[in-house]
Amino acid sequence: GEHGGDPASVEFCHRTGLDYVSCSPYRVPIARLAAAQAAIRGARK
């Protein structure tokens, strides 16, 4: 499936300690933004 580009999936991966997701090229910008947002949210806790 195409879970690597889903912001909720990226958030989950970040919370569980995974540091890599795979997605199709057109979803890379979304995945990068979601990863940055997850990192910021994690740093605030």
Give the C-alpha separation, 45 to 27, whole Å.
27
- Tell me: pLDDT of 28 over 90: yes
How much is the pTM?
0.82
- How far the first Cα of the chain sits from its last, in Å, is 30
30's tokens: 């979304």
Give the C-alpha separation, 15 to 33, whole Å.
16
Q: Mean pLDDT score of the chain, rounded to an integer?
A: 90
pLDDT value, residue 13: 93
pLDDT value, residue 43: 86
Categorize the per-residue pLDDT at 35 as very low, low, confident or very high, splitting at 50, 70 and 90. Answer: very high
- Tell me: pLDDT of 36 over 90: yes
